Structure 1
């Protein structure tokens, strides 16, 4: 792609005076991108702020129509939007075409789900007191700063921008340094659907400029709300800036998803779900299955089931992670587990499909993994799976379940989990004890139904995307109280003023 990806600031954005390169992890330089300056950030904020009165005053029905038109464009086989997004995603990242196509093909469902609940989510409602009526309305914050990660770029960019826009906010979108072109195309899709260009501005920020320019974005008094999807490390920095300037935030951060196999779990069926949940997109999903908790008496059955499923998978290969540094970090976590006694449970396949280069990793299943190993606590964000054994010999089943739940909760993260058991009522009861935002009974941990609130507990973030809860997190309430009867004068002498 011999292009320079520009910022999108109003009707006419000046030609870039400086650029930075986007580099594919294995293929090298992809294209150049406008390197935003402090002046560009100021222009983006000013443009979105000036557009706020008109966009906030646009009837909800019209805002909904724009989002539905964008969803239609995305799914219209006569249009090129979907193919452009897929092509850009694959060019900029190590994501496979299948992963990019699957995300792109599902994004419209999230858009339609938001539109479907918008009337109920944003409707005013009344509260009657003893002598007055209070009307509560949901109002947009104003200018919202949005930042979305690269690893599920279509869905993450959609919810970061469409949710605040639908609620009546204008948006300044700071792209990921990894996927600026994909996110640029997304903004152009919204413009093509009828979104006023000033209501959504897009700025690209080079890695070395990010600390200063992100601080400028968050601290500006015209920016009233922040949403961020990314790592817990960076999220904590953004949250600190937002706290300093008293800005509300919605954040989805890292995860360490656990999958619990109860004593009555269908392990043969669960095995394929475990492998898919662990290795989709080379494990580069915040909801990836990182740890499986299994009773000791079922450990050998689990290992055999995982080996059988993996042996039948015909596309084994080393997959590139998004940076060489990330791959190096994951190798260190795996080596630490092996040094502390964990076994490489598909070692023969790893030997046959050795890592192709410094940035690529072959999937790894390790077990048993215990608390002495970094893999037990650290989010790998790579193609690793840790098996954690729960002793069950001679123990009451209730104690085994207590131990399993305690270890599943023994993490700073709380985004997604899964519980497997043939007795679904009991599995659901166990799910209710897991400290995280979503628990899926007899399903994969990477799951995000469009109609269902999505977000984390603990260090996995706060606030919610999706559905009614998601829309309401991008609004603030106003209460107007009207007395039932006109008031008379107060007896000031009866008061201690």
Structure 2
């Protein structure tokens, strides 16, 4: 496969924008039948080209075929079908309960599409993190321009090739490129911008959106911690933590970033990690037979490799690399302190620091003292510990006794909080992001006798009648 990616000429971006905008204004995407067809076409686009998507992911990231299909393709196929089957329910107007004196106003909340959407996706999971947002935009009736990451050129090229073959090209378009193309897109006025990526770029996107008062969904990252309680099965915890870390060689926003282990079980946990590591890698991780993925590009490879050289902790597993293939073995670092270089920013690679703390309370305090992460993982059988984590920490999500499995639950929103982003999506929440809840009332003429006191000129009598609501009794607290 060729890695050459054709960037969209800057002069064409305005015409792409004009095309999808005209489609929205024409009302093309509003009928539910249209949206349902596009959603099912999206599912077909993934299902009918599974091998091509696997090939592209393998070329860009060294991602193994099973991992690509399980973690990137299957959720989009199933999510598209679920949205198509749920459209009528999601789009049904709401009839809120109102006070009796307004009961004849036919108060209704309609779900209407916001307008045209810009969706900027990252390189680490370039398929699912492009199309999860698109599912919501299609379901909501919003034409969309997709900007895939140039760091995964094979996937980006495949997206550009297949979108116009399966979806309505008047409503859904792809712009490929890098900084200049993205800046050109951000200079335009959108109804909503959906961005997944780093906090640094997220700030740039939010600043650009503010010029047009454009709502934004930011799916960022952060250092997602793992807390190990002494009461939990340490071998099972080690297995589930490493499972989360090996996905896409740690290049995942919800990857376990560091592990906090109480002193009483610190050494046994390290032994459990070693045992699991040996079972995951019966051959050296850098051996081609290990089918271990690669770091996406040279700059990220140098960054991750540099972290291994800078840490003051003890490398107990891994710590090796292959400069020619941009591969770094899963590296476990023990004895890490909170001021270690590994603790400065999100690692986003195959390095797992393990930090010894006094006890669970100290672990919880460590998490609460740091910026809000995307997720807090905790391994415990104790309801008391679970309650402490829930009430004394903050994050986009809490996951008990596993890693990454929150991504399988489309019935609840996935998203960040604070520096890890804002705006949750998945399932109906994806639909809600791109939908405006438009209020409607119809005030009957028969109300007019009751309105006599609202009109000018005001009088003492009108004041007394119209201000009664300010003098209602307040219940005892």
Q: Distance in 1 between matches of 2:339 and 2:5?
A: 44
Q: Distance in 1 between matches of 2:27 and 2:336?
A: 53
Residues 37-436 of structure 1 mapped to structure 2, 5 A cutoff? 37-54=9-26, 56-72=28-44, 74-75=46-47, 79=48, 81-102=49-70, 103-127=72-96, 128-129=98-99, 130-131=101-102, 132-186=105-159, 189=162, 191-193=164-166, 195-205=167-177, 207=178, 210=179, 212-221=180-189, 223-313=190-280, 314-318=282-286, 319-338=293-312, 342-346=313-317, 349-350=318-319, 354-357=321-324, 359-392=326-359, 400-401=360-361, 403-423=362-382, 425-433=383-391, 434-436=393-395
Q: Relative to structure 1, is the Cα distance of residues 327 and 113 closer, same or farther in structure 2, using a 3 angstrom cutoff?
A: same
Q: Distance in 2 between matches of 1:148 and 1:224?
A: 17
Residues 476-487 of structure 1 mapped to structure 2, 5 A cutoff? 476-487=436-447
**Alpha carbons 1:417, 1:445 under 8 Å: kept:** no
Stretches of structure 1 lacking an aligned partner (at least 5 in a row): 2-29, 393-399
> Which protein shows a greater Rg?
2
| TM-score normalised by the chain length of structure 1 | 0.82
Q: Distance in 1 between matches of 2:32 and 2:26?
A: 12
**Alpha carbons 1:278, 1:288 under 8 Å: kept:** yes
Bigger drift between 115-124 and 238-247 goes to: 115-124
Q: Which residue of 1 aligns with 2:473?
A: none
Which portions of structure 1, spanning 4 or more consecutive aligned residues, are displaced by more than 6 angstroms? Answer: none
Q: Distance in 2 between matches of 1:196 and 1:34?
A: 21
Q: Quote how far apart the aligned CAs of 1:267 are.
A: 0.8
Q: Distance in 2 between matches of 1:429 and 1:121?
A: 33
Q: Quote how far apart the aligned CAs of 1:133 are.
A: 3.8
The 3-state SS of whatever aligns with 1:178 is: coil
Q: Relative to structure 1, is the Cα distance of residues 74 and 344 closer, same or farther in structure 2, using a 3 angstrom cutoff?
A: same
Give the strand-richer structure, 1 or 2. Answer: 1
Bigger drift between 307-316 and 142-151 goes to: 307-316
**Alpha carbons 1:184, 1:202 under 8 Å: kept:** no
Q: Is 1:475 aligned to 2:475, yes or no?
A: no
Q: Quote how far apart the aligned CAs of 1:309 are.
A: 0.9
Q: Quote how far apart the aligned CAs of 1:48 are.
A: 0.5
RMSD over aligned Cα atoms: 2.5
The 3-state SS of whatever aligns with 1:482 is: coil
Q: Distance in 2 between matches of 1:284 and 1:185?
A: 21
| TM-score normalised by the chain length of structure 2 | 0.86
Q: Quote how far apart the aligned CAs of 1:483 are.
A: 2.0
Bigger drift between 172-181 and 245-254 goes to: 172-181
Q: Distance in 2 between matches of 1:243 and 1:48?
A: 22
Q: Relative to structure 1, is the Cα distance of residues 141 and 106 closer, same or farther in structure 2, using a 3 angstrom cutoff?
A: closer
Stretches of structure 2 lacking an aligned partner (at least 5 in a row): 287-292, 463-477
